Amino acid sequence: MNSTAAIYPGSFDPVTNGHLDIIQRACRIFDRVVVAVADNTTKKALLTIDERLDLLQKVTQGMRGVEVDSFDSLVVEYARRKKINVLIRGLRMTSDFDYEFQIALTNRRLAEDIETVFLMPSEHMSFVSSTLLKEVASLDADISSFVPKVVERKLKERLQGR
């Protein structure tokens, strides 16, 4: 069997159980999955790039074939540097499709040799978004069923420190 690899790019601010579900699904399809954290300076992140990388390292530890990295370029440029021609994108709801479809078509125009594969999380995680979690966590809600413990602790620490 040929070794296959894919990149799962995102901001992961913070990583959620939904992200982990997509990573696990990707691991069943690909031998190697690079979880690539976008260091996007135009987006105001709650967690630093180093914190996001650290949390991803911790929550993916023990997942065979998973590598955590960061990038600060177009994802297709990053993919070319890594010599990987598959991008993974998660689709939670049908409302995600329009946005994700735009991104996939733009990436295809920029790099027609790089394919986008869409994966859907388990139904019970289809509504979980990092943005929503940050909002409810800031109101001191219980988010333990949406994120790993280490992420929950980091979010509480950061939000209480504001």
- Annotated active-site residue 108? The verdict is no
Query: 11, 52, 130, 154: which one is catalytic?
Result: 130
Do the bridges between strand 66-71 and strand 32-38 make them parallel or antiparallel, or are there none, so unpaired?
Answer: parallel
| Residue 130 a catalytic site member | yes
CA dihedral 61→67→73→77, nearest 10 degrees, is -160
Q: With H, G, I as helix, E, B as strand and everything else as coil, classify residue 115.
A: strand
CA 94 to CA 98: how far, in whole Å? 8
Q: Which of 43, 44, 83, 162 is catalytic?
A: 43
Structure tokens at 100: 């994700």
- Name the active-site residue from 19, 25, 134, 154: 19
Does residue 43 carry a catalytic annotation? yes
* Amino acid letter, residue 97: F
Instruction: Please confirm, yes or no, whether 144 is among the known catalytic residues.
Output: no
Between CA 128 and CA 19 the distance in angstroms is: 9
Catalytic site residue from 32, 58, 80, 92? 92
Q: Which residues are known to be catalytic?
A: 19, 43, 92, 130
